[in-house]
Structure 1
Amino acid sequence: MPENKSIEGIKACVFDAYGTLFDVHSAVGKHRHRLGDLADQVSNIWRTKQLEYTWLRSLMGHHADFWQVTQDALDFAFDMHSINNPDLRRDLMDAYLKLDCYPEVPEALSILKSRGFNLAILSNGTPAMLDAAVKNSGLDDLIEKNFSVEDAGIFKPDCRVYRLAVDGLKVRSEEIVFQSSNAWDASGASAFGFKVAWVNRFGQSEERLPGKPDVEIRNLMALPDVLK
């Protein structure tokens, strides 16, 4: 997938939040000293189970919001490593509301906004979680709208979630470029009809799923050069 391919006819840039704008591992990073050698394992299991629970709940028809799912995933990670520390659990959940954004995010979004693109988030997160993350990273003046799956009652990659951005921004699906670091989310958005820039921060392999990203970039600073 060439990184220098361009995308034309775009009116809005829509971003996944967790793992794309915000570093999901920064919550554990703030309390690494309290977890010691288990820090990376806990953080990775927490994230893996968080995603798994969104897919499984969607398939089972038993929706719970992302805040609950995030708590359940952390509890699983703690149980897996026999950690019983209510204070640490509380502090990690609080830290999830204050995730760090990736270093290039403010500058990249500022460039895109200066070029007249509408900027929005489309995320599994609850409205309160997204508002907190955006405010904590100082992106309030850049992000115009937060679209939460709570308005669809089901998680990504259900097409009803991607439809929220089309209806909310009042543009056609092909006039939206969607950015995600999650390969499965990039595939889902492409299958729906978005143009997609896959932000492959972590050197993932391409998914064997319907829908292919239009471009692959390493971080968001490459996005302005892609949009013509």
Structure 2
Amino acid sequence: DAYGTLFDVHSATSIHQQKLGEKAQSISALWRTKQLEYTWLRSLMERYVNFGQVTQDALDYALDSHGIQDGSLRQDLLNAYQKLSCYPEVQETLLKLKHHGLGTAILSNGSFEMLEAAVRNSSLEEFLDGVYSVDTIRIFKPDPQVYQLAVDQLGCDPKEILFFSSNAWDVCGSATFGFQTVWVNRFGQAPERLPGNPVLEIKTLDAVLQYFSVD
């Protein structure tokens, strides 16, 4: 996974904290909540648009809900979302996994354009063997078709994939599909009451290195 797992989805509002003032945290949380809701609802409605459009729609809802009508600020936030910061341990963790002989790839709701921008901004290109977007199949996680995309692209069995996500619902979806899963529970959230359990729960990505006995 990418958003929330490798990339800090709240970094877009953090860099515009001064403009947003005391509403920054609330706007960021609502933006993310609606972004996810819209992916699920559009999948159910069979009305796909790419993640960039979903992100814009979710931001518009969040700003409107907070009484903010500022086109310039809106564009600044959307631009910032194209350049999300990765979490501090991500580069080193991916590097060590690669040196250990493990293949690494992203499977994400993000559009190719958004993912390429985020990967480039955090200089992760050399640490990844592939970037796979739901744009290829035009449906969002946790639809099983998304996880099948990774199987098809990597040419392996589901059980051979160790899938990382900070989103518990994504962990459930991918585990139910047949992946081995790791929940990167960055914020100490309670587990979902859904089918599918992770083989490992960690707080930061680098904690998985112990799982592979990687120094």
TM range (shorter): over 0.9
Identity of aligned residues (%): 57
Match of 2:196 in 1: 211
Give the partner amino acid of 1:132.
A
Whole-Å separation in 1 of the counterparts to 2:67 and 2:202: 39
Out of 38, 45, 49, the position equivalent to 1:53 is 38
How big is each residue's C-alpha offset from its partner over 1:16-58, in whole Å with a ceiling of 9 and x where there is no partner?
Answer: 0000000000000010100001100110000000000000000
TM-score where L is the length of structure 2? 0.98
Verify: 1:116 aligned to 2:101, yes or no. Answer: yes
Whole-Å separation in 1 of the counterparts to 2:117 and 2:159: 30
Give the partner amino acid of 1:25.
H
Match of 2:175 in 1: 190
Counterpart secondary structure, 1:138: coil
How big is each residue's C-alpha offset from its partner over 1:172-204, in whole Å with a ceiling of 9 and x where there is no partner?
Answer: 111110000000000001000000010000101
- CA RMSD in angstroms comes to 0.7
Of the two structures, which has the highest relative contact order with CA contacts closer than 8 Å and spacing of 6 or more?
1
Match of 1:12 in 2: none
Give the partner amino acid of 1:57.
R
Give the partner amino acid of 2:11.
S
Alpha-carbon distance, 1:143 to partner? 1.1
Match of 2:92 in 1: 107
Alpha-carbon distance, 1:217 to partner? 0.7
Out of 14, 18, 21, the position equivalent to 1:29 is 14
Match of 2:163 in 1: 178
Give the partner amino acid of 2:206.
M
Match of 1:7 in 2: none
Alpha-carbon distance, 1:130 to partner? 0.3
Which 4+ stretches in 1 moved above 3 angstroms?
none
How big is each residue's C-alpha offset from its partner over 1:60-118, in whole Å with a ceiling of 9 and x where there is no partner?
Answer: 11111100000000000011011011001001000001000000000110100001111
Q: Which runs of 5+ in 1 are unaligned?
A: 1-15
Alpha-carbon distance, 1:227 to partner? 3.0
Verify: 1:151 aligned to 2:139, yes or no. Answer: no
Whole-Å separation in 2 of the counterparts to 1:35 and 1:108: 33
Out of 125, 130, 149, the position equivalent to 1:140 is 125
Match of 1:62 in 2: 47
Paired residues in the alignment total 213
Counterpart secondary structure, 1:213: coil
